[in-house]
Amino acid sequence: MIEAVNLTKSFKSGVAVDHINFYIEPGEIVGMLGPNGAGKSTTIAMLSTLIPPTEGDVLLHQKSVLKDQNLLRKVLGVVPQEIALYGDLTAKENLFFFGNLYKIPKKQLNERVEIVLEQIGLENETKKLVKHYSGGMKRRLNIGVALLHEPQYLIMDEPTVGIDPQSRNHILETVKKLNEQSNTAIIYTSHYMEEVEYLCNRIYIMDQGRIIASGSKDEIKAILSSENTVVVKVNNNSNAFMNELFNQPILTNIKADEDKINFTIAKGVNFLPNLLSLCERHNVLLKSFQMEEPTLEDVFLHLTGRALRN
């Protein structure tokens, strides 16, 4: 198990990570969600021993790794947010280079390179220089390099940023397979809700250097269990109608986008009759009324009052 205890990083510009507590058990996939600048990458850099924390500790099996970083480095693979590859080397040359850094014996490395190339779906593109790869292919190789030494723990920092849906799906499948087949524990960082919802059992939500919510998917969604999100569509919307809607004390988080109105409302309250009479009075036509299950996006909105991405 890797643990972060009160992990904190201050820069001259301010506190990037603020007393974070975090853990990952062998074999699980943990999601780390947060908007730009939340402190995800800084947390990862500390977790992977690349930068020393200002305060707090990182533990591997209850032992601090701040003094003896190699303890953790041996069992850890990191996929950085940036494409950390040599553009002037081919995929194979990159893999062999980093494999050699890990001192993987030659014969074994030959095998590992073949396996990894297959895992990331680049087995037919090995002779091209990496600078001539598409963005998606670079991302995949960026992941592949971190897999060579078969780490027990893999940290992935936004591995699907800026690539086409096909490559993205491929990466999501790769991650899932890796976890299922090799039992690799994975910390998956993203600001895409769908990815984290799809892959992870446990989720941490970060904002402004702090973890603002954590737990299983259901636990996190239960934060909103006392509320429902309602989406209403109308015709002939008017200011008078909206004003009256805003004055309804039982509605919260009201947002209107032309004829589409969102709000949250306590569970068990039946607002439909009130809405209908309201519409009638203002001569507004109600086209649809829909109660929605909360998403992680809603949770984030609820917790911070801001959307995750803009």
> Could you list the residues that contact another protein (CB under 8 A)?
11, 45, 48-52, 70, 73-74, 76, 78, 80, 82-86, 88-89, 93, 96-98, 100-103, 129, 145, 149
Identify what 36 binds: Mg ion, ligand ATP, another protein, none; CB under 5 to 8 Å per kind: ligand ATP
Query: Does residue 13 bind ligand ATP (CB under 6 A)?
Result: yes
Least distance from C-beta 306 to ligand ATP, angstroms?
14
288 binds ligand ATP (CB under 6 A): no
Residue 39 binding partner per list another protein, Mg ion, ligand ATP, none, with a CB distance cut-off of 5 to 8 Å that depends on partner kind = ligand ATP
**Binder to ligand ATP among 1, 6, 11, 219 (CB under 6 A)?**
11
Contacts of 49 (CB under 8 A, 6+ apart): 58, 65, 66, 69, 72, 73
The sign one gets for the Cα dihedral 122, 123, 124, 126 is: positive
Structure-block tokens of residue 110: 């030959």
Applying CB under 6 A, does 52 fall inside the site for ligand ATP?
Answer: no
Residue 144 corresponds to which tokens in the numbers above?
């592949």
Sort 268 into a burial class: Cβ within 10 Å, 0-12 / 13-18 / 19+.
exposed
Residues in the chain: 310
Q: Between residues 129 and 256, which has the closer beta carbon with respect to another protein? A: 129
Q: Applying CB under 6 A, does 39 fall inside the site for ligand ATP?
A: yes
Q: Which of 10, 64, 81, 126 binds Mg ion (CB under 5 A)?
A: 81
Task: Closer to another protein by CB, 80 or 294: give it.
Answer: 80
41 binds Mg ion, rule: CB under 5 A: yes
Minimum distance of ligand ATP from residue 172's CB (angstroms): 18
Out of 30, 40, 58, 263, name the contact with ligand ATP by CB under 6 A.
40
**Which listed range, 8-16, 54-62, 238-246, 298-306, lies at the site for ligand ATP (CB under 6 A)?**
8-16
41 binds ligand ATP (CB under 6 A): yes
CA 182 to CA 18: how far, in whole Å? 33
- 104 and 149 in contact (C-beta within 8 Å)? yes
Residue found under tokens 């004390």: 249
Q: Is 34 in the site for ligand ATP (CB under 6 A)?
A: yes
Task: Give Cα 156 to chain centroid, integer Å.
Answer: 9
Distance of CA 119 to CAs 101, 141, 178, Å? 21, 10, 8
Question: Distance between the two ends of the chain, CA-based, in angstroms?
Answer: 35
How many Cα neighbours within 13 Å face the side chain of 127? 1
Report the alpha-carbon distance of residue 9 to residue 48 in Å, rounded: 14
Stretch that binds Mg ion, among 76-84, 128-136, 142-150, 293-301 (CB under 5 A): 76-84
* Coil, strand or helix at 208: coil
The residue whose two tokens read 């829909």 is 290
* Contact string 206-235 vs ligand ATP (x = CB under 6 A): ------------------------------
Query: Tokens 């939500």, residue?
Result: 205
Q: Please, which residue, 22 or 153, has the CB nearer to another protein? A: 153
Q: Which stretches of the chain bind ligand ATP, using CB under 6 A?
A: 11, 13, 16, 34, 36-42, 81, 191
